[in-house]
Structure 1
Amino acid sequence: MPYRVDLAYRVEEALEELPEEGRQEVMETIAAVLVEIGSRPAPCGWDGALRFGSRCWVGFTAYADGIEVYGVGWAG
């Protein structure tokens, strides 16, 4: 089953401003969230979650067919 990832507009802007290394790590962290379905909050609810990479974080909420990323950060 294919999953979708929606990025909030401010997330798209933040990704553009990151260096390649930061963008790569954030995208890998988003991919990890998609693979680990059990670590997501209940779909279609008000709950959000954070997932941490080695130097980044991703804030997201879950839907039945994917996730929406509403915030990212990178400490590089």
Structure 2
Amino acid sequence: MTYRVDLAFRVEEALARLPEEGQQEIFETIATALVRRDSWPPPGGWRGAFCWGPLSWVAFTAYRDGIEVYDLGWAG
């Protein structure tokens, strides 16, 4: 099954300000969240979840067919 990833506008802006190393880690963290479906909150609700990378984190909500990333952080 193919899943989709949506990025909130402020996430797109934050990614644009990160150096390439930070962008790469954030994308890897998003990919980890996407494939770990057991960590997704119930689809369609207001609940969110976090996924952590070595120096990053993403906050996301779930839909039946994917996730929406609404916040992120990178400590690099």
Q: TM-score with structure 2 length normalisation? A: 0.97
In structure 1, how many angstroms separate the alpha carbons of the residues matched to 2:3 and 2:22? 23
In structure 2, how many angstroms separate the alpha carbons of the residues matched to 1:59 and 1:34? 12
How far off is 1:45 after superposition? Answer: 1.1
Unaligned runs of 5+ in 2: none
Matched positions, count: 76
In structure 2, how many angstroms separate the alpha carbons of the residues matched to 1:45 and 1:10? 20
In structure 1, how many angstroms separate the alpha carbons of the residues matched to 2:70 and 2:50? 10
1:46 corresponds in structure 2 to 46
How far off is 1:46 after superposition? Answer: 1.1
In structure 1, how many angstroms separate the alpha carbons of the residues matched to 2:56 and 2:34? 16
Q: Secondary structure at the match of 2:41?
A: coil
1:7 corresponds in structure 2 to 7
How far off is 1:2 after superposition? Answer: 0.8
How far off is 1:15 after superposition? Answer: 0.4
Q: TM-score with structure 1 length normalisation? A: 0.97
In structure 2, how many angstroms separate the alpha carbons of the residues matched to 1:55 and 1:39? 19
In structure 1, how many angstroms separate the alpha carbons of the residues matched to 2:73 and 2:17? 11
2:22 corresponds in structure 1 to 22
**Percent identical residues:** 66
Q: Secondary structure at the match of 1:32?
A: helix
State the 4+ residue runs in structure 1 displaced beyond 4 angstroms.
none
1:68 corresponds in structure 2 to 68
